[in-house]
Chain A
Amino acid sequence: MAPTLLVQTISSVVAASTPLVFAGLGETLTEKAGVTNLSLDGTILLSAMTAFAVAYLSGSLLLGILAAMLVGALIALLVAWGSIALKQNQVAIGFVLTLLCADLSSFLGRPFVRIPGPSVPHLPIPGLVAIPVVGPILFNHNLLVYLSFALAIGVWLWIGHTRQGLVLRSVGERPESAYARGVNVHRTRYLYTLLGGALVGLAGATYSLSVKLGWSHRHTAGEGWIALAIVIFGGWSPWRVVLGAYFFGALKSLGSLMQPAFPDVPTQVFQAAPFALMIVVLVLASGDLKERLLALMHPRMRRLLSGMVRAGPPAALGKPFEPD
């Protein structure tokens, strides 16, 4: 039956997008504080490998997930320390860490390549799962997926509707004013970079323990860059970042669904599609094109839409802050 197939597909997209939700939200928190952690692609690889290896060796999923989050936070600490305390270029540190962690994951992960191992157990929520359509889409998953829902709501509330969120935004937008008001700018930046990094680590664990089980050479390569693009595409707004994560997750599932239907189209087209689309989406999100499209619209429509699609980066993103 077609409707059930559709529901199943959407449900699998929700599950497959979970790591991008974690990584996107983590990087949003970091960038809101004014720090870019460019190392995502490497961090996700190394934390995915760590999660699988630790869970496999210890027999504890929780230990694997915590180890991955610790790895993510430690890499983020290097980004924060190198750029805040040592004043080195954030992009340089992040890029070097991307390559370093990718190679490290290949080197240390070699004994774990393609061996069967633990995975997060499926856990439908009794009662809720019986709701038609919504039940199977939202409540027929595992704990990590439910955690991503909670986190999406939590980050949105935290950034937009709490005092601490206000402090966070002020540090990313106007660190001088925040400092004048008694906010410890550097401590706040360290804190959110570490927190963001831990969430990126959680994204890695979600790949190896839930979405793309196990470990292989360059298991998740490319995903981190997509996550970074989603943050820009989402205009640094948590709910739009989450939508972006599901959008790219859907695109990927669509690709693998359509592949058998179009045997003439080479598989490489489907592999490269997310990255080509990433560029297109960024052109739409950051270029003049958006403004031109908006200018074509009815003024009322324009006002309504521009609030939703216009969003720039935090004003002090990537800029060092010197209190004096």
Chain B
Amino acid sequence: MKARSPALQVLLGVAPILLTLVAATAILLVAGANPLAAFGQIISGAFESPRKLADVAMAMVPLLLCAAGMLVTFAAGLWNIGVEGQVVAGALATTWVALRLNAPAAVLLPLTVLAGMAGGALWGLLIGLIRTKGKVNEIFAGLGLNYVSMALTNYLIFGPWKPPDGATMSGTDPFPRAAWMPVIGTSRASLPAILLAVAGIVVIWWLLRDSQWGLRLKAVGQNENAAYRLGIRTSREIVLAFMVCGMLAGLAGSLQTTAVYRRLIPSISGGYGYMAQLVVLLSGLRAQAVPLVVLFFAAIQVGSPRLELRMYLDSSLGGVLQAGTVLFFLLVRGLRQRLSKE
């Protein structure tokens, strides 16, 4: 195997993004749109003003938390596609607390956070039990429960939690002010939410790198049977991994309700759970790479609705760019490994 020049390394590193841009250009041409204008709209839609930057920061919050959680389940070798449902469960638990309890902000806000984490953890427990006791692959357990969580949200919004003057797709009534996460000045950026997200990823990075628990998880992830023979209670570790992930995802859901929408809306998870799966894959399962990838994803997320407003294109182009980058990342990685062998 020959050592490669740094230039080639850099080229291979940015290749997935370049290939995605080429593919997206072709797709935009098929749709009859000007590719440069479309990319320009996404970039300016994400970065043009302080207001937009605040939106990007707030989009990073759920992505960081969900990605942190998924680093845990990936370490244990699990495909936690149920993160989306865990986000929703956190949002539902938080909504319940916010709408039902009458307390000052100093009491209510911590309770909403704890409720969100508990709700997500419970949803994770459910997935973990279906996997360990029911012997059902976690992909199907998680995915099935994602649909159940969406139905549950709609049921609650159109049933028990419907506003007095009738239920609509815009969700429940706004929460009482005591359940609003404080924001910086008149912006939409909430400092507590951002700090919680940063804390989440840092703690998980540290735990996975340095703790006994992290080592046990990796042992389970590398070889479940061997870990079991070494005396690790694998079922317990797996359930715990789902619960820890659920806790972080639930916190993400909680903050979506208290810091972003200040109410429960039907699509409260906003697809962040699925997106975080892509984030973790693109970061190569390394916690230290997650923040940069999250920034990239959040910018696309905030920038792409601009396509609808200005160019009458569907904002799902943002999702195409995100998933496309990950697909090309996997393919380029495979090609590199193949070339370095020859």
Residues of A within 8 A of B (CB): 38, 78, 81-82, 85-89, 91-93, 95-97, 99-100, 102-104, 106-108, 110, 222, 225, 228-229, 232, 266, 268-269, 271-272, 275-276, 278-279, 282-283, 286-289
**Which DSSP category, helix, strand, loop or mixed, fits chain B's interface?**
helix
A-B contact pairs, 10 of them (CB 8 A): A86-B337, A88-B331, A96-B323, A100-B320, A106-B319, A107-B313, A108-B30, A269-B151, A271-B151, A287-B134
User: CB < 8 Å: which of B145, B151, B330 contacts A268?
Assistant: B151
Q: Which residue of B is nearest A42, CB measured?
A: B323
Q: Which residue of A is nearest B81, CB measured?
A: A95
Query: Quick check: B133 and A287 within 8 Å, CB to CB?
Result: yes
Q: Which residue of B is nearest A289, CB measured?
A: B134
A128 to B202, CA, bound (A): 69
Q: Which residue of A is nearest B323, CB measured?
A: A100
User: CB < 8 Å: which of B136, B139, B320, B327 contacts A93?
Assistant: B327
User: CB < 8 Å: which of A93, A100, A225, A289 contacts B140?
Assistant: A225
A87 to B330, CA, bound (A): 10
Query: Quick check: A110 and B143 within 8 Å, CB to CB?
Result: no
Decide: A85 near B338, CB < 8 A? Known: A96-B327, A106-B314.
Answer: yes
Decide: A225 near B143, CB < 8 A? Known: A88-B333, A106-B314.
Answer: yes
A181 to B330, CA, bound (A): 33
Q: How far is the CB of B74 from chain A (nearest CB, A)?
A: 10
Flag whether B96 is at the interface (Cβ < 8 A).
no
Band of interface residues on B: 35 or more
Question: Which residues in window 105-164 of B have CB below 8 A to A?
Answer: 130, 133-137, 139-141, 143-148, 150-152, 154-155, 158-159
Neighbouring B residues of A283 by C-beta, 8 Å: 130, 134-136
User: CB < 8 Å: which of B158, B322, B330 contacts A92?
Assistant: B330
Query: Quick check: A276 and B148 within 8 Å, CB to CB?
Result: yes
User: CB < 8 Å: which of A88, A95, A104, A269 contacts B155?
Assistant: A269
Decide: A99 near B323, CB < 8 A? Known: A268-B155, A288-B135.
Answer: yes
A272 to B85, CA, bound (A): 13
Neighbouring A residues of B253 by C-beta, 8 Å: none
Query: Quick check: A282 and B148 within 8 Å, CB to CB?
Result: no
Query: Quick check: B140 and A279 within 8 Å, CB to CB?
Result: yes
Q: Mark B310-324, 1 if CB is under 8 A from A, else 0.
A: 000110111110111
User: CB < 8 Å: which of A38, A86, A276, A279 contacts B331?
Assistant: A86
